[in-house]
Amino acid sequence: MLSPREQIIENFGQYFENYKLPRILGRVYGLLLLTDQPYLGLDQIVTELKVSKASVSTVVRQLVGFMMIEKVTRPGDRRDYYQVSPKAALTYIQNSMRGALSFADLIEKAAKLEDLTPEARQKIERIEHLYEALAKVLGEFFAEFEKE
């Protein structure tokens, strides 16, 4: 039986799995979010999540790449530690929104096709405008939040 905390960590794993990321990646993120400690070392993550060091090593690199967590080092300590930074969450949301908006690029490319019938063109342009409006709203939202 899983503790509530473990269950939620598991849920984080499942969530990210839906977005084509390794389940362990989500679990590591969840663990770092829920931990009492300011940051965790690789071996702590390994024992806590009962996964291989190899997995944590690769997954942690991805998370840093996505700017969802940060690496923390300490003088006189060779080990690497990891934490979710407050800014990380904002970056993550921005990334996922950017992902959704990248659909707009596709639509735009489609709208540039030459041999479209007027009906098809109209259909596509409506979608184009919808995404433009959404991009505008989201842009304003992030501009607002980044100020803080």
Q: Name the minimum Å distance from CB 47 to a copy of itself.
A: 19
Nearer to a copy of itself by C-beta: 71 or 89? 89
Q: How far is CA 148 from the centre of its chain?
A: 21
The strand order across the sheet containing 70-74 reads 40-41, 77-83, 70-74
Give the interface with a copy of itself as residue ranges (CB under 8 A).
Answer: 4-5, 8, 11-12, 15, 18-20, 30, 33-36, 38, 84, 86, 89-90, 93, 96-97, 99-100, 102-103, 106, 109-110, 113-117, 119-120, 123-124, 126-127, 130-131, 133-134, 137-138, 141, 145
CA distance 20 to 55: 16
CA distance 93 to 25: 16
Q: Residue 80: which of 121, 39, 21 has the closest Cα?
A: 39
Nearer to a copy of itself by C-beta: 53 or 87? 87
Q: Among a copy of itself, DNA, none, what does residue 133 contact (CB within 5–8 Å per kind)?
A: a copy of itself
Give the interface with DNA as residue ranges (CB under 7 A).
Answer: 13, 20-25, 41-43, 50-55, 57-61, 76, 78-80
Nearer to a copy of itself by C-beta: 52 or 141? 141
Asked if 27 and 8 touch (Cβ cutoff 8 Å), the reply is no
Q: Name the minimum Å distance from CB 148 to a copy of itself.
A: 10
Q: Would you call 54 helix, strand, or coil by DSSP?
A: helix
Nearer to a copy of itself by C-beta: 74 or 106? 106
Please list, in sequence order, all residues whose beta carbon lies within 8 angstroms of the beta carbon of residue 17, skipping any fewer than 6 positions away: 23, 26
